[in-house]
Amino acid sequence: MSVAPLLGSALAKAQRNAADYALDVQWTTFDAFFTLVEQQRVALNVASLVGLGTTRSCIAGPAARRLERDELAAQDRLIRAAVEEGALGVSSGLIYEPGRYADLAELVACARAARDAGAPLYASHVRDEGDELEAAIDEALAVGRGAEVAVQCSHHKAAGKKNWGKVHRTLGALDRARSQGMAVGCDAYPYVASWTELATVLPRAVRDGGDDAALARLRDPDGAAAAALAMELARDPAFGGDGWDTILITGVSSERNADLAGRRVDAIAADWNTTPARAVIRLLVEEAMRVESAFFSMTEDDVATVLSAPFCSVGSDASARAFAGITARGVPHPRTYGTFPRIFGRYVRQRRVFDTAEAVRRMTSLPAAHFGLRGRGTIALGMHADLVVFDDGRIVDRATYDHPFEAPAGIRDVYVNGSAVLREGRLTGTHPGRVLRNGG
């Protein structure tokens, strides 16, 4: 999903989400949104891809089907306009509604439209991160070859105990594509838990057609019973599942269940005197599907393996939140506040996956080059002065799953476009950030 373009179903969803933050949606295009950001001022630089889940919602809403020829043409026009207004490329989220209904031909067409408009980059939350991970990576590479664009496999991982170790083969596939001349990269965050919608545990057939259709099925007693049975079997460790104790609720949309943030699904089920699957269904219905969760589905060795790949950037995969105020609700994943310092503390000093200089490259020049951010990512004459002054022997994350709202240690100053936004560990209140339209 992306902040624009917004038409029809995409606009309605954006308005619902924005209402949670007492925000009016005053834009429908990237140009209008970027202009608002420039007028309001921001401390960090801002850039965006155009999300294919959003463009699909504009064209066909939550429809669980392939797009017709005229709809593909309309989506092509939306993508071209987004790139002309400043988007860096296209992104897909192929486990989410409605992006998961896009087939290879649609994905290639979307990436080609972005390329033709001047943004040859396809970033993908691939179609499967578990049992079908290898096929999902192959699909992402097929999009790159078919559209002749660069490929970024977002927050690369192998989810689920039975899939641990597959990253050795998927990294090999990415490396082979690079050796054949493709511009291919991936990114990772330094944690063993992912963070996404709780609704992803539902059977795919239940989710078909979007949130409203899913809610109707879950409110039906027979539909709820069938969904609960399928979910219990899928999560049962005896059948290769990870168990309900590996799911941590991090946030809900209403005050009704706000006290559940920071609790595991199995504990909630025990309190409610029901099964974990039934507890999930009840929670999703009461919160109209808007529940966020952390899934402890990875192994530390896999995380280190992915990070060891020289083409792997560091990314937080987190939403932008403050330490207080309207965005500081729930119990968010600690990666929101600790990703980059954690790399130095855990993977430089402790595990010695790489040294400080290489860690910095993975956070700066590598992603800047891959995403086409011009004049950024290295310290050199004539470059924009985006700088962090830190103590490489002391920098470390302090955010935890129980207490995520903790600032890291060891960062002294932060400069954005040459102006200090953090000096001696204190915010200065300046807002020198820019919108990097088309990476400029």
Q: pTM here? A: 0.94
- Residue 421 three-state SS: strand
57, 67 contact by CB (below 8 A): no
Q: Is the pLDDT of residue 20 over 90?
A: no
Identify which of 132, 54, 74, 68 has the alpha carbon closest to the alpha carbon of residue 103: 68
Identify which of 93, 104, 87, 11 has the alpha carbon closest to the alpha carbon of residue 50: 87
Give the pLDDT band of residue 329 (cuts 50, 70, 90): confident
> What whole-number distance in Å separates Cα of residue 348 and Cα of residue 367?
19
45, 386 contact by CB (below 8 A): yes
**What average pLDDT does this structure show over 219-230?**
96
Residue 347 has what DSSP assignment? I
Give the 3-state secondary structure percentages of the chain, helix then strand then coil, rounded to 5: 45, 15, 40
> What whole-number distance in Å separates Cα of residue 292 and Cα of residue 348?
30
Give me the phi and psi of 8, to 5 degrees please: 50, -125
**What average pLDDT does this structure show over 161-185?**
97
Count of alpha carbons within 13 angstroms of residue 81, beta-carbon side: 15
Give the pLDDT band of residue 155 (cuts 50, 70, 90): very high
> What whole-number distance in Å separates Cα of residue 224 and Cα of residue 208?
15
Choosing among 3.30.750.210, 3.20.20.60, 3.20.20.140, 3.40.50.10260, the CATH entry for 8-154 is 3.20.20.140
The per-residue pLDDT for 274 is: 97
51, 88 contact by CB (below 8 A): no
- Mention every residue, 6+ apart, whose C-beta is less than 8 A from residue 347: 190, 304, 307, 353, 354, 359
**What average pLDDT does this structure show over 223-251?**
93
Domain coordinates of the chain in residue numbers?
A: 8-154, 196-296, 335-439
The burial class, CB within 10 Å (0-12 / 13-18 / 19+), for 271 is exposed
Q: Is the peptide bond before 408 cis (omega within 30 degrees of 0)?
A: no
Question: Length of the chain, please?
Answer: 440
The per-residue pLDDT for 238 is: 84
> What whole-number distance in Å separates Cα of residue 386 and Cα of residue 377?
8
**What average pLDDT does this structure show over 428-435?**
97
The per-residue pLDDT for 140 is: 98
